[in-house]
Amino acid sequence: MRFEDHTFDVPLDHDRPDGERITLYAREVTADDSLPWLLFLNGGPGFPSPRPLGDEGWLRRASREYRVLLLDQRGTGRSTPVTRRVALARGASYLTYFRADSIVRDAEMIRAALRSPPWTVLGQSFGGFCTVTYLSFFGDGLRSALVTGGLPGLTTDAADVYRSLYPVVAAKNEAHYVAYPEDVVMARRVAAHLASTDVRLPNGRLLSVAAFQSVGTLLGGRDGHAKLHYLLESPFDGDQLSDAFLLATQEALSWSSAASPLYYLLHEPSYAQGFGATSWAAQRVRAEFPAFDAHRSLAGDDPVLFTGEMIYPWMFDDDPLMAPLRPVADELAERIEWPPLYDVNRLGANRVPVAAAVYDTDLYVSRDLSLRTAAAIGDLRLWHTADHQHDGLRVSDGEVLSHLLTLLA
């Protein structure tokens, strides 16, 4: 496979084409320049495209039929970045231009710059959300669409998403403790220690009980149960948490680190589209599920439950690097006016062939909302499977992508 760099100049605000400009970066991966284009939109929001090492099964499979374009979505990677300092300097209003509605308009400008006819888009997770936005407003630019673990609720708000996901996270906890019953005692011991002791990770971030619970995001991957179990195998050095445990926990929490401030700041706003403010939906809805109250669990005999992919306001307060951004996050959480992300009528009339994988026990994207959306999109071929987790595209050595391509064919 051959790699080639591309850069593109686009407006920050597509409604003001003569205003401020930003740069987008994309890496072409191809074995044959005569093949049609496939645009890959990765998960997030706020993460750059994957950096290929040459052994990715899905990328090898894709390159047999396509020239693959790995886009660093605006604000990430080698595109004009939104770093912690940029977010602090530019504020909440600037960050509103880094959602799916802007990303798909970027994609159409890139397609025009490459002089490509309608192309295929592969969207993973948040990239799938972007793909549904693409189908809603720029379907004429698509030859076909592939979605893996990324069908969003079309008429739901962030609170609806979390009401659907918290029971899934609870079920993942139950399955973990059935597989590793010894972890019940160890997780309670770690949580009890954190409840009575000020513990800092090596990077200075507070390891609170709630932060410890958030390592449950590990449970969303193929090997997640084993990784969480190994984390809990021997966390103590005498009566203190060991350096090895703290370093491993810091790594497990890297998904919500200052390295990706857009993820922190736009995670809940990525669901917002005119239904009102998100108002820290994950925190509000969590109160409806008292089983996740670790202090309540420690006061009794219940297991401590881990949480999933949720952003909470305390994550800013506990992280010295992110704390200055708390006012920006609060402003985004209280913002009411958001443009629409999906057009239900256009999606119902869609004639672009779509193949979508919905993972039955997806920790990050609601299966129930995804199935409802699959039924609402015209010409969508659904693969509802329990054989893979949310990371199926990445870890299945091309199997997931092959199945979706077969559905298209």
Catalytic residues: 125, 362, 390
Per-residue DSSP letter, 75: B
At position 60, the amino acid (one-letter code) is R
Q: What are the backbone dihedrals phi and psi of residue 91, each rounded to the nearest 5 degrees, phi first? A: 85, 180
Token representation of residue 368 = 């129930």
Token representation of residue 217 = 């995001």
CA dist 194 to 213, 234, 377, Å? 11, 16, 47
Helix axes 158-179, 182-196, angle to 10 degrees: 120
- Max Cα–Cα distance, the chain, nearest Å: 65
* SS3 label, residue 96: helix
CA dist 71 to 114, 247, 379, Å? 13, 31, 26
- Judge residue 261's burial from the number of C-beta atoms within 10 Å of its C-beta, 0-12 exposed, 13-18 middle, 19 or more buried: buried
One DSSP character per residue, 148-198 reads ES----SS--HHHHHHHHHHHHHHHHHHHHHH-THHHHHHHHHHHHHHHS-
Length of the chain: 409
* SS3 label, residue 284: helix
Is 73:153 a contact under the CB 8 Å cutoff? Answer: no
